[in-house]
Structure 1
Amino acid sequence: MIAHADLLLFRLFRWQVAELSADTQVRFQPPDDDWRTAVPGITDMNGNPAGSLNVYLADVRENRRLRSNERERTTVGTEIHETPAPRRVDCHYLISAWSPVTVSPATEPTIDEHALLSEAALALGRSDVLDPVAICAATRPGLPAIPVPAPLLDEQMPVTLLPVEGFPKLGEFWGTMGPSHRWKPCLYAIVTVALKEAPRPAGPMVTTIYSHTLQRDLPATLNTRFHLGGTVHVSAADATPVPLAWVELLTPADTLVTIARADSSGRFVFADVPAGDYHLRARVAALPLPPSPPAPPQPAQPTSPVRAITVPEPSGSYDIVF
């Protein structure tokens, strides 16, 4: 995700700072002697010597105020997977502007650098977040739109621009860039990124929960009830879940006992069901179908075949297929 922050900053500056017309004008290497040597050879899209931005990642620290123990659960087949909440990491960038012009009595390149630094600050300050969708879709000559990287599709990266306390050791920073270094002003920006982990298997899905109630010392009053849950699928060969289906719990004579609505993942739950034999049946407005090849017309309200079950079901599964 840190590399994705680099990508968004690169495209943001290329998009919104008019002077930065070529990719080589935005670099991420240390601003050391090698960088200073390269600056005079940096050119714009027309091949003319041009100013440049050095966007250097100077520090990376966890943002512990945003730490969370929350877990996101997803269903994969009959398994439950958990994804830990991502750690949030603050990426501390020092952004400096550089001119290829040599100082002379007639020229003062520092003024050009300050102007470029101001434009970079405006580009960062137009929003409190880096929006991957907008930044990847942005275009200008020499900057085509690109697909949004998959990890960034649902992400927003908060930006803290020029915190009042400043970068705590700017003098030491420039002191490490070479013996002939000179102090330069920098934009100090903090971009917060999420370090996402892959889902982890957490165990099999629970499909049946039972509860016993009875009066003390009266075993004959024992009453057992069940909570049961399953998933509605497109077919036995296609495990695609059917969202928002209506699921009916019926007696063996097909008399309605109760009805439940499946969620967006096709999961349904019936509560407080006595032990015994039942039928399950699902109805839905329309089944999810692949975009190609063209599917045959569907009935107005598809209905699944009736499935006979026993509560508690020996197989442990209450899934329904159309």
Structure 2
Amino acid sequence: MIDGLDLVIRQTLVAEIPSLATRIGFQPPDDAWRQRVGAGTGVWLNCALVDLREDRHRRSNEIRIEHHPTRRVLSPYLLRCDYLLSAWNSAKDSAAVQATTAEHGLLGRVVRTLVERAPLTPAAVLVPAELAGLPSAWREDTFDTDVLPPEGFTKVPEFWGTMGRAAPWRPVVWLTVTVPVAPEPTLVDGTVTTIITSTGTGRPAQDPEVLLGLGGLVLDATGAHAAAPVPVGEALVTVADPGGVLLGRALTDVDGRFVLDGLPPGTYDVRARATALPSMPPLSVTLPTPAPGPLELQFT
């Protein structure tokens, strides 16, 4: 269950900071973490889960009765999860490299992303296959989110003191997310006197055998690259239906190429995001496409 919350936090941040797609971890920032960062490149983000508590101020003893079949449903238990987020640069400070400044820059973007996207909403950042892996009570819910509570996390010295002798004191972003833990409903046995059937009003299912792929390039056509656009690596490409429901995502390779698979015929909104490049409006694409060839997404 908590791994599902980790996924929601990861995809919320990656949606706005694509460079974190391969540079984010949820392990303790100990010696093993420092070795992992040192073996890579760029600025990494560590999201350490440090505390779990019940939100007793909002506990409810309410019992709801559902029918067809008759079930007794208890109010969910509210679990508060505390994370400490810290930035780590694989490079070291020198006259030519401002490593610590880059860490501070990443922390600032993380805070802005979390504040702008609060409360965290799984359906806004997860594709259907990922949503299906979450508890059913989470799929259409939003999570109460508190970024940098004013009282501060009082155990920061104790936290860093347990991460190894070489662990320096680092600034952290304290993130608190409260999620529901729903008890299983209790079936109330009784005599069946009436059977009611209904047909839903949801969209009809597409033919499961008709699935298409969408591939293309992401190019930077801003400023000096306007005349000759260049490929953008590590850009996040997302595809959503016209209602804004996220259906898939892909990260471009070093040549700016991407592939999105498993899409039924229809009309979709496709867009790309990349660090340090302007936002891109969604591009409407109909599958199957009338003309062959890769799709081009350009930052201008």
Helix, strand or coil for the counterpart of 2:53? strand
Match of 1:195 in 2: 181
TM-fit CA distance, 1:72: 2.5
Contact conserved, 1:242 with 1:288, CA < 8 A, in 2? no
Q: Tell me the CA shift for residue 288 of structure 1.
A: 7.5
Provide Cα deviations, 1:190-224, integer angstroms capped at 9, x if missing partner: 0001111111123426x8xxxxxxxxxxxxxxxxx
Counterpart of 1:87 in structure 2 is 77
Matched, 1:163 2:149: yes
CA contact (8 A) 2:89 2:102 kept: yes
Give the corresponding residue for 1:10: 10
User: Which amino acid in the other structure matches residue 90 of structure 2?
Assistant: P
The alignment status of 1:113 with 2:96, answered yes or no, reads: no
Shift in CA distance, 190/104, structure 1 to aligned 2, threshold 3 Å: same
Would you say how many aligned residue pairs link Structure 1 and Structure 2?
201
Map 1:69-84 to 2 at 5 A. 69-77=61-69, 80-84=70-74
Contact 1:2 1:193 in 2 (8 A): no
Name the counterpart of 1:68. 60
Structure 2 CA distance, aligned partners of 1:27 and 1:124? 17
Residues 13, 120 of structure 1: 8 Å contact kept: yes
Write the distance in 1 (CA, Å) between the matches of 2:129 and 2:100: 34
CA distance in 2, matches of 1:178, 1:8: 29
Matched, 1:58 2:56: no
1:17-28 matches, cutoff 5 A: 17-20=17-20, 22=21, 24-28=22-26
Q: SS state of the match for residue 194, structure 1?
A: strand
- CA RMSD in angstroms comes to 2.5
1:90, 1:15 → 2: CA distance?
24
SS in 2 for 1:105: coil
* 3-state DSSP of counterpart to 2:154: coil
SS of residue in 1 equivalent to 2:9? helix
Aligned to 2:36: 38
Mapped to 1, the partners of 2:99 and 2:129 lie a distance apart of 34
Bigger Cα Rg: 1
Amino acid of the structure 2 residue aligned with 1:108: Q
Structure 1 residue 148 displacement after superposition: 1.8
**Does the 8 A contact of 2:79 with 2:181 survive in 1?**
yes
Structure 1 residues 147 and 176 mapped into 2: Cα distance closer, same or farther (>3 Å)?
A: closer
Aligned residue type for 2:71? H
TM-score, scaled relative to structure 2: 0.62
Whole-Å separation in 2 of the counterparts to 1:242 and 1:12: 39
Residue 99 (structure 1) aligned with residue 89 (structure 2)? yes
Q: TM-score, normalised by structure 1?
A: 0.58
1:133-148 to 2 correspondence within 5 Å? 133-137=123-127, 146-148=129-131
CA distance in 2, matches of 1:57, 1:288: 40
**Which residue number in structure 2 is paired with residue 182 of structure 1?**
168
**Match in the other structure for 2:222:** none
| Percentage of pairs with the same residue | 33
Deviation at 1:133?
Answer: 1.1
TM superposition shift of 1:62 = 0.4
Cα distance in 2, alignment partners of residues 58 and 130 from structure 1 = 19
Contact 2:50 2:82 in 1 (8 A): yes
Gaps of 5+ in 1: 43-48, 138-144, 208-229, 234-240, 244-286, 293-322
Asked if the contact 1:132–1:155 (Cα under 8 Å) also holds between the matched residues in 2, the reply is yes
